[in-house]
Amino acid sequence: MTAGRDVTGYSATQIALHWTVVVLVAFQFLAHDGIEASWRALSRGEAAPPDQAVLTYLHIGTGVLIALLIAARLYLRLTRGAPKPPADEPRILQIVAEAIHGLIYLLLVLLPLSGLVAWFAGAEGAAAAHVLFKTVLLAAIVLHVAGALFQHFVRRSDVLMRMLRPQRD
């Protein structure tokens, strides 16, 4: 579904969305103490600590923003397309890359949803799923980064550079 043309790179918008989500996800991993402290307090029937309120609401707001940006990324991927893997790439590497990308997209949809359900419905199961999804996302990110570096330094392909330099439309 690429509007009748071959896509050899990502658009400036796709690249900006990618790196914005990277920064926001990194923030979520690094600044999660507030929401965790608030969740623990609420789970014990206590009030959330007032000194954690800012971080708690930043975590929730950032999660919602990530969900919206992922929706935009998926829309662009469906309407504009994405570049094909390098022609000489072994099929097994293509399958692994597709699986990791699909997993990351799925987790970036499920994490905000499970977090919102956990927080606003007080659902322990959703909270447990949220923690599991976070751990799996971290592993998937490590594999994604390793794959990009492998493509760049070992295979000497343009895969990494496509996410750094926009395709001229």
pLDDT in tens, 44-102: 999 999 999 999 999 999 999 999 999 999 999 999 999 999 999 999 999 999 999 99
- The domain locations on the chain are 12-162
What confidence score (pLDDT) does residue 72 get? 98
What confidence score (pLDDT) does residue 167 get? 86
Phi, psi of 145 (to 5 degrees): -65, -45
Q: CA separation (Å) from 40 to 37, 65, 113, 123, 142?
A: 5, 24, 19, 13, 28
Q: CA separation (Å) from 161 to 141, 146, 148, 164?
A: 18, 14, 9, 5
**Contact call for residues 70 and 105 (beta carbons, < 8 A):** yes
What confidence score (pLDDT) does residue 6 get? 81
pLDDT digits (tens, 9 = 90+) for 4-47: 468 889 999 999 999 999 999 999 999 999 999 999 999 999 99
What confidence score (pLDDT) does residue 168 get? 77
What confidence score (pLDDT) does residue 5 get? 60
pLDDT digits (tens, 9 = 90+) for 117-150: 999 999 999 999 999 999 999 999 999 999 999 9
What confidence score (pLDDT) does residue 169 get? 59
What confidence score (pLDDT) does residue 85 get? 94
Q: CA separation (Å) from 68 to 17, 71, 113, 125, 166?
A: 10, 5, 11, 24, 22
d(CA 15, CA 162): 9
Q: CA separation (Å) from 131 to 48, 79, 86?
A: 19, 32, 35
Helices (H), the chain: 12-30, 33-43, 53-79, 91-121, 124-149, 159-162
